[in-house]
Chain A
Amino acid sequence: MPNSLTRRLIWTFVLIAGASLLLYATFASVHYPWNWSNAWSYRFQFLWGWGTTLAISLGASIVSILVGFGLMVGRRSPTTPLRLFCHGTVELLRGSPLLVQLLLGYYILANRLNINDPILVGMILLGFFEGAYLAEIFRGAVESIGASQREAAKAVGFNKVQMYRHVIIPQAIRRALPGTTGQLVSLIKDSSLLSVIGIEELVQKVRIMNSSSYTALEGYLPLAAAYLIVTLPLSWYASRLERRFAFET
């Protein structure tokens, strides 16, 4: 029997080769005039933008997980004003465009609070936006843990905090993982909008490069690759985590 890992690797290679060939053939058929030498001279700019995107995404991910957890707890609170406040916050953040949130948040709110660091403000605003989605993913996972588990937790004598800490959250994490990974991938891509508050992240760097070197796709193809270099390992790591948390119910 062939080793399943080897088989998967071979198939992965075949599929990638096929896709590259298709892409190449398509470009060849439209006679696209490549001009890589101009693009190459902007490589350090490109790397700098990539680093900025990574740093902002990492910071915003941490903010979004904290915000998501907080909003989820708030939405399940027995205190009516708190519950309504968190529900309203989730709906506002999810329902309005990120672009508007960034513009209002940076030029009005952060300005009023005298915070002038666009990177810091960008991280927080992006984190809040994605956190609203995460709150709903977390809430769905927590509420899917059935009443019999809650009763069993109470029966062995756990108080509320112990019940969440030892019974509900460990089981909910597994159910929240696939959705959370998807949301973090979205977050990385949504970070491209931060150029509107003057952050020169990857997409903005590529736009600058394209306009000054009179090229178009020479910037955008590496751009797609640069995002995939981050998002693919993230998805891979998440599926490993899912397997680690796997247990039948």
Chain B
Amino acid sequence: MKRYGEFNALNGASFQTGEDARVVALLGPSGGGKSTLLRVLGGLLVPEEGSVLVNGVALPKDPEGALEALRQNGFVFQGYNLFPHLTALQNVTLPLMVVHGQSEQAAQQRGQELLTRLGLFDHLHKRPAELSGGQQQRAAIARALAPKPRLLLLDEPTSALDPVMTGEVLDVIRELAQEGQQIVLATHEISFARQVADWVVFLANGTVQESSTSVKFFYDPMSSLAKEYLTALTKYR
């Protein structure tokens, strides 16, 4: 359970993924708790009640333990949230040096390699304000990937982007999924989720309504809320 004051953002959000689930999609209407659940899974928020088990071990709740657990994960947000006073490359290298203790040389190398791979070779030394939304989001993905995270958590990474830029960013995520990166993705891109996700968790009103394999969810959803949601999303597509 995660509360904000009186408001229960998550209540009864229990689920367990299958053993082989690598890409988990969090779906559901806005305000249903996707973002909160994603932050709780990644250790960015500590729940008031209940626990998150990773391979059978609970995430620690004391501040220091939680920070250590958090540092094994990478986050990407809807609004990119790059640091505006740093260049794209510095955004990637600073956490590597400060948090993960890498040498400047190693961090530079890792940063250049990743940003080049994500198509930002020409933009290494630009500040976020000089980059397009799609470029910013790819730089944010590079920042999250740089320390080789156990889990990459993406919170509606394309909701602020136009269709072309959305395509750029989804291509990157699909490639990562194919390479075996473990991913948790909160999204409204339903056809993308259908393509890449192995497991779907459907949330509404702060409660997990459904948790099943992707195939089962898309072809035979159990709850009426999920059925309504899928119908609404596919109406104009």
Interface residues of A (CB under 8 A from B): 148-149, 151-159, 162, 166-167, 170-171, 174, 245, 247-249
Contacts and interface: CB of A to CB of B under 8 A. Distances in A.
A152 B95 CA distance: 11
Given A158-B95, A158-B99, 15 more contacts: A148-B77, A149-B81, A151-B77, A152-B75, A152-B82, A154-B44, A155-B42, A155-B77, A155-B81, A156-B99, A157-B71, A167-B83, A171-B84, A248-B84, A248-B129
Interface in B122-154: 127, 129, 143-144, 147
Contact of B67 (A157, A166, A171, A249): A157
A157 B67 CA distance: 7
B170 to A, nearest CB: 21
Given A162-B98, A162-B99, A248-B127, A155 B85 contact: no
Given A158-B98, A171-B84, A247-B85, A152 B129 contact: no
Interface string B199-233: 00000000000000000000000000000000000
A155 B129 contact: no
B168 to A, nearest CB: 21
Given A151-B44, A247-B129, A249-B129, A157 B70 contact: yes
A212 B83 CA distance: 61
A148 B98 contact: no
B98 A247 contact: no
24 contacts: A152-B82, A152-B83, A153-B83, A154-B44, A154-B70, A155-B42, A155-B75, A155-B144, A156-B94, A156-B95, A156-B144, A157-B95, A162-B98, A162-B99, A166-B83, A166-B94, A170-B85, A171-B85, A174-B85, A245-B85, A247-B127, A247-B129, A248-B129, A249-B84
B137 to A, nearest CB: 13
Q: Binding site of B, secondary structure by majority: helix, strand, loop or mixed?
A: loop
Which of A152, A157, A171 neighbours the largest number of chain B CB atoms within 10 Å of its CB? Answer: A157
Interface string B56-97: 000000000001001100010101011111000000001100
Contacts of B83: 149, 152-153, 166-167, 171
Contacts of B67: 157, 159
A247 B84 contact: yes
Nearest to B146: A156
Contacts of A151: 44, 77, 81
Contacts of B99: 156-158, 162
A23 to B, nearest CB: 44
- The list of the 4 closest CB pairs from A to B, nearest first, reads A248-B129, A152-B81, A155-B75, A157-B71
Contacts of A248: 84, 127, 129
B114 to A, nearest CB: 14
Nearest to A162: B98
Given A157-B71, A158-B98, A152 B77 contact: yes
